[in-house]
Amino acid sequence: MTQVRRRFIGKLCRLILSGSLAFAFILIAGDLDLAHRLPQLSKTKYAAGVLFITILLDNIVVWPVVTLIMRRHPDDAKAVFVNAVDNVMADLPAVGQEDIEPDDLCAICRGSLKDVSAGIEASTGEPISVAERGVTKLPGCGHVYCRACLSEWVRRGNGTCPLCNRWFIDALPPNETLQQRNAEWVMDAIEEFRREELARARRRRDRNR
């Protein structure tokens, strides 16, 4: 699902909620002291009143509440993003030990891919955890990295190959699997992350002027 579509659905849900609140507000007001006036209103004026209250509620009640909730639970959103990244990493092609040359290095950490695949930390010779083992080959460009390094690379807001700068998340085979939906979600999150970084950079420049 694209970022534009997700925002559209979010806005639609907010308007539906606000419209329901507006309709309930008008009904309650009618039951209290406006019952004798409501039948006299034309359909156009009635619809305009509902629309006005809907927009008002959306901007001063619903959206501020949603924003407050999102700001109070940033860790939840981060956990969802990390989980999506892990699922995408699991869907990328793995490279077997027999396909790795002894002098092949990860372009991110400069460690031996042969050692990583065998579960050995290149710099210390110590064993590494199962979660950090594995070597990944990017679809499209074919460059190879430590799975753990590539996962951290994406979590920091990158969706391109560190060597050739080619997008690789959108190069996954198109299907309806959970991994593909996670890939689309990660791409949208990366684009949003970059927009926020640019906005913060502009604000810093404006403050320093």
By percentage, how much of the chain surpasses pLDDT 90? 0
> In this structure, are residues 136 and 90 in contact, taking their beta carbons and an 8 Å threshold?
no
CA distances 160 to 26, 87, 106, 194, Å, are 52, 17, 15, 13
**Does 129 or 138 have the greater pLDDT score?**
138
Predicted model pTM: 0.47
List the single range of 32-36, 97-101, 186-190 with lowest mean pLDDT.
Answer: 32-36
**What whole-number distance in Å separates Cα of residue 64 and Cα of residue 74?**
16
Mean pLDDT score, 101-130: 76
Average pLDDT in the chain: 69
Max Cα-Cα span within the chain: 87
Taking CA 156 as the corner, what is the angle to CA 154 and CA 160, rounded to the nearest 5 degrees? 40
